[in-house]
Amino acid sequence: MNNFLDIAIEQSELSIAKGGGPFGAVIIRNNEIIAVAHNTVTIDNDPTAHAEINAIRIASQKLNTFDLHDCEIYSSCEPCPMCLSAIYWAKIPVVYFANTKNDAAYIGFSDNFIYEELNLPPEKRKLKMVKLNEPKALEVFQMWQKSPNQTKY
């Protein structure tokens, strides 16, 4: 077994012991551990506190950057849609994982409804989404386009 994956799995066990979900993650750069984290959703009462999100937050703070293109992430489970999106936003190019999303669904962590919802137009989703017309919002986007201080991400 891979040492980094072993650590992610150990984190998932630690999470269970602390009352969290069975998920752990490790972010490495140049074969060095940058961040180690586990799921703290129920511990922190934060629905976004998945292991991968927590690890990305730690790594970004430690490296003082939002761009983790030179890192890799090891996860005890295939990332959910939120974590997968965060991994893309962080520009992490490789994800190694153990359990699959089907394994997670088997124990009650199914994300299939999210994948299905994302394929629907906003007006057909179960989550009510209402487009409001507010010209000021577009003005802010235009301000961003013209700003010399923008940092692309």
Instruction: Write out the catalytic residue numbers.
Output: 52
75 strand-pairing partners: 25, 97
> What count of residues does the chain have?
153
Distance, CA of 85 to CA of 65 (rounded, Å): 17
Residue 120 to residues 84, 109, 116, Cα–Cα distance (Å): 19, 21, 7
- CB atoms < 10 A from the CB of 136, how many? 6
Q: What is the CA radius of gyration of the chain?
A: 18
Cα angle value 93/100/153 (rounded, 5°) = 25
Contacts of 2 (CB under 8 A, 6+ apart): 74, 96
